[in-house]
Amino acid sequence: MNALVLHAVGDARYEQVPMPVPGPGQVRVQVAVCGVCNSDLSRFFGGGPYSFPLVCGHEFAGTVEQNGPGVEHYGPGDRVAVFPLLWCGACGPCERSRYAQCTNYDYLGSRSDGAFAEFVVAPTRNLIRLPPAVSLEEAAMIEPAAVALHALRRARGDMIGECVAVFGAGPIGLLAAQWARAMGAAPVAIFDIVSEKLQLAVRLGFPHAYDAAEANPIRVIGELTGGLGARLCIEAAGTPQAALHALKAAARDAKIVLLGNPTADLVLPTALVSQLLRREVAVLGTWNSDYSAAGDNDDWHLAVAGMSAGTVDVKPLMSHRIKLSRAFDALRMMNDRKEFYCKVLIFPERGA
């Protein structure tokens, strides 16, 4: 089959690799579409993956092409999305169904070969059947939608009528804003420094979208809340400046969720730390998303339901649709920021 294989940092080749064979309890999925995550850019052009060679890509959906031994509940043509984290099932977090906290996990597209390829093998326990209302393109965005939802659920609070501030208007930030709105937050304020991202936020129905380089976020939040501050701040950019804005904009007894992958060290001024203590804010980390093989109120199944019902709209986030044979060019464009992009989708070409 064809795949984009990363042989070293900056060295990716579109080439033929052996077709993966599904084992017991597994299926082979024909990849219809795979989204590009910023973590993929780090693997291609930054620190690299855990090992080489590797086929990256973990935000994907497709159709079941072949069953492995013992698989009965799936068949060829079934449309599925795939939770890419492969949990061990034996550690403490796994025993509590906290698979994202597994201490001995594998990961499609990060530690094992992923979906920048025509086919991927995955366990049936990692599959989610897609309802008719969710297209395969949309399903490739279930993973980021679930990650954004997980960040909101980490806050575990009543958001009805509360101000939520989102710092960073990339795909995850815009999805987090949509989930916050669906949970009753008002107003939802979005900050970024890229005008195209802010324009997209407005098209998604968020009038409170501000250029953080021109409008002081702390002053804006103060004006929106009568000086009280935001009840929840989501840091979705991964930059020190965005994190500082999130920390400063938080109200008393507020929550701050650090969602963006950090791009540099964050140094906190003593005066800010003192204010955080006095305001008794809670700073929460978030990573990945919760998944239940039984569909028990987890982030993934809720994300599918939200897409199906129109609660979140991922279509406006899709900025580029690229053939797999041209994917490395698209990745270089993203890394070099040669043009505006939001969510880049990769489409394998069978037999090309």
Give the length of the chain. 352
- Is the domain of 208 the same as that of 127? no
pLDDT of 88 over the 90 cut: yes
pLDDT of 349 over the 90 cut: no
The owner of tokens 């969710």 is: 134
pLDDT score, position 351: 63
284-300: average pLDDT: 93
Tell me which amino acid residue 286 is.
T
Quote the mean pLDDT of the chain.
Answer: 97
pLDDT confidence bin for 19, thresholds 50/70/90: very high
149 in any annotated domain = yes
298 in any annotated domain = no
Here the CATH number for the domain that contains residue 56 is 3.90.180.10
Answer whether 256's CB lies under 8 Å from 284's CB: yes
The owner of tokens 């339901």 is: 305
Pairs from 38-44 (Cβ < 8 Å, separation ≥ 24): 38/170, 38/261, 39/110, 39/261, 40/109, 40/331, 41/331, 41/334, 41/335, 42/261, 43/6, 43/110, 44/6, 44/9, 44/10, 44/12, 44/328, 44/331, 44/335
pLDDT of 352 over the 60 cut: no
- Is the domain of 41 the same as that of 130? yes
What separation, in Å, do the N-terminal and C-terminal C-alpha atoms of the chain show?
A: 9
- Is the domain of 259 the same as that of 164? yes
294 in any annotated domain = no
- Between β-strands 164-167 and 230-235, what pairing exists: parallel, antiparallel or unpaired? parallel
Which residues, 6+ apart, have CB-to-CB distance to 216 below 8 Å?
A: none
pLDDT of 66 over the 90 cut: yes
Number of Cβ within 10 Å of residue 112's Cβ equals 19
Give the pair of three-digit tokens for residue 76: 């060829």
- Is the domain of 115 the same as that of 202? no
pLDDT score, position 157: 85
pLDDT confidence bin for 234, thresholds 50/70/90: very high
pLDDT of 182 over the 70 cut: yes
Here the CATH number for the domain that contains residue 190 is 3.40.50.720
Q: Tally the C-alpha atoms within 13 A of residue 137's C-alpha that lie toward its C-beta.
A: 14
* pLDDT tens digit sequence for 124-141: 999 999 999 999 999 999
Cis before 187 (ω within 30): yes
- What is each CA distance from 194 to 198, 201, 212, in whole angstroms? 7, 11, 9
pLDDT score, position 294: 87
- Is the domain of 204 the same as that of 157? yes
Identify the domain containing residue 68 by its residue range.
Answer: 2-141+314-347
- Is the domain of 157 the same as that of 273? yes
pLDDT score, position 248: 98
pLDDT confidence bin for 23, thresholds 50/70/90: very high
- Give the three-state DSSP class for 210: strand
Read out DSSP for 266-318?
----HHHHHHHHHHT-EEEE--S----TT--S-HHHHHHHHHHHTSS--GGGE
pLDDT of 276 over the 80 cut: yes
148-158: average pLDDT: 94
Read out DSSP for 124-137?
GGGEEEPPTTS-HH
- Say how many domains are in the chain: 2
- What is each CA distance from 348 to 14, 32, 107, 132, 186, in whole angstroms? 11, 7, 20, 22, 41
User: What pairs with residue 81 in β-bridges?
Assistant: 61, 128
CA distance 300 to 200: 25
- Give the three-state DSSP class for 320: strand
pLDDT score, position 295: 83
Give the global pTM.
Answer: 0.96
88 in any annotated domain = yes
CA distance 237 to 10: 24
pLDDT of 246 over the 80 cut: yes
pLDDT of 229 over the 70 cut: yes
DSSP character at residue 108: B
Tell me which amino acid residue 30 is.
Q
* pLDDT tens digit sequence for 298-317: 999 999 999 999 999 999 99
Answer whether 198's CB lies under 8 Å from 168's CB: no
- Is the domain of 233 the same as that of 338? no
pLDDT score, position 319: 98
Alpha helices of the chain — where are they, by DSSP H?
38-45, 92-95, 136-139, 142-155, 171-182, 195-203, 217-225, 240-249, 270-279, 299-309, 327-336
* pLDDT tens digit sequence for 93-109: 999 999 999 999 999 99
